[in-house]
Amino acid sequence: MQNADSCHELLRDSVKQRLAFSTRLRFSVWKERLRKKFVELCGIANIEKNVCELCVRIEEDVLKDGYRRIRFTFASERGLRVPCYLLLPDAGESIYPLAITLQGHSTGFHNSIGEIKYPQDGEYQPRGAFALQAVRRGFASLAVEQRGFGEQRSPLTHGQNCQHVFTSALLLGRTIIGERVWDIHRAIDAVLPTFHQVDGTRIVITGNSGGGTAAYYAACYDERIGLCVPSCSFCPYRESLLSVWHCGCNYIPDAYRWFEMYDLAGLIAPRKLVIVAGRRDEDFPIEGVRRGYESVRSIYTAAGAQENCHLIETPKGHWWCEEIVWNAVLRETGMLDISEGRQ
């Protein structure tokens, strides 16, 4: 029977992406064109027009067990203040690399600092306490509340917690992906001049599921991010977003006619990229991940940085694997021995 899906599959199979990676074009030229289109399709070009002063406000500064916790907000754009937590190790050192840690579809960023606000939060702990995991390994860790989640959830939402926010963004010539990327970009702008303990030359970003998606796209946009480690989120659009049900916040309108998800790795190269994927992840099928990674390898080779990209497969499904992720981060940042000594 012919239906909407069969129509879309026909269109999908007939598409020739206009900005797909090709060795026929000089890498730097292709990358510049791809970046321009990415910024346009995500709606970031429209978001940039609404920029304002950051106006950082510190709301909490407390000592916890082995670290310092600071809650602050900043103005990402006119009409929006973004809440964040910055955790600093209590290790007697003066400056620390920054690890940006992002939640996916959870009840909010309080999970990243190990707090339980709602009954279902217990399901995420301690596995989902990303920021705590980072600070205990010697990082200054930044948890950002993303639009559509937690404190940035709309009261008008029914069902999926970010639905009203991402549909409203579309009507305004934006995407929620672009808005989340912009907030992460502005969070870095806020942290670096405000907190002297943070080393702006060593920035890592990671997250799981929707948090991994935001991490990947943020690294595409912000070149200050030196290492990107998306978990349970990287897969070609063909095998995932066009073949498996996903929340609408994952979609960039018209993207597939221009590029595949793996093409965007060209915006990260030659900076470091470590993709973490579960062999039993039904949302991001491993065969698709492997196919996409082969293209990532080709792109990094063209950028002269083939040693800077890696794929790590876990035996799990759609699941954050703490030790696997952080060992990869520590290895790529040269901090593995330091962290082992601290533990």
Q: Does the structure show a pLDDT above 50 at 47?
A: yes
Rounded Cα gap, residues 130 and 105, in angstroms: 14
C-alpha–C-alpha distance, residues 263 and 268, integer Å: 10
pTM of the model: 0.96
- Which range among 61-65, 92-96, 224-228, 245-249 shows the weakest confidence by mean pLDDT? 92-96
Task: Give residue 212's pLDDT band: very low, low, confident or very high (50, 70, 90).
Answer: very high
pLDDT score, position 15: 92
Greater pLDDT, 155 or 300 = 300
- Max CA pair span of the chain: 67
Alpha-carbon separation of residue 228 from 194, 197, 271, 272, 330 (angstroms): 23, 21, 8, 6, 12
Q: Are 302 and 338 in contact (CB under 8 A)?
A: no
CA distance 113 to 99: 13
Residue 33 has pLDDT above 80, yes or no: yes
CATH 3.40.50.1820 fits 4-342, yes or no: yes
Compute the distance between CA of residue 20 and CA of residue 163 in angstroms, rounded to an integer: 30
Contact 200, 98 (CB under 8 A): yes
The stretch 126-149 carries a mean pLDDT of 95
- Choice among 27-36, 84-93, 193-202 with the minimum mean pLDDT: 84-93
pLDDT attached to residue 343? 39
SS3 per residue for 197-255: CEEEEEEEEEEECHHHHHHHHHHHHCCCCCEEEEECCCCCCCCCCCCCCCCHHHCCCCH
C-alpha to C-alpha distance for 60 and 335, rounded to whole angstroms: 29
Residue 160 pLDDT: 55
Burial 295-323 (b: 16+ CB within 10 A, else e): bbbbbbebbebeebbbbebbebebbbbbe
- Identify the pLDDT of residue 94: 85
Residues in the chain: 343
Question: What average pLDDT does the segment 54-69 reach?
Answer: 96
Inform me whether the pLDDT recorded for 341 exceeds 70. no
CA distance 8 to 21: 23
Q: Take residue 257 and report the two structure tokens written for it.
A: 């006619």
Q: Taking the C-alpha atoms of 234, 276, 96 and 338 in order, what is their torsion angle to the nearest 10 degrees?
A: -170
pLDDT, residue 141, reads: 98
pLDDT of residue 159: 55
Tokens standing for residue 178: 């672009």
Whether 303 has a pLDDT exceeding 60, the answer reads yes
Helix (H, G, I), strand (E, B) or coil at 97: strand
Give DSSP secondary structure letters for 15-58: ---TT---TTS-HHHHHHHHHHHHHHHTTHHHHHTT------EE
Higher pLDDT, 208 or 153: 208
- How many other C-beta atoms are found inside a 10 Å radius of the C-beta of residue 226? 19
Using DSSP, state whether 298 is helix, strand or coil. Answer: helix
Range scoring the smallest mean pLDDT among 56-70, 143-157, 184-198: 143-157
Average pLDDT over all residues of the chain: 94
Per-residue pLDDT band for 158 (boundaries 50, 70, 90) equals: low
What pLDDT is stored for residue 61 in this prediction?
A: 97
In what order do the strands lie in the sheet containing 309-314?
A: 57-63, 67-77, 80-89, 140-144, 96-102, 198-208, 227-231, 272-278, 309-314
d(CA 326, CA 251): 28
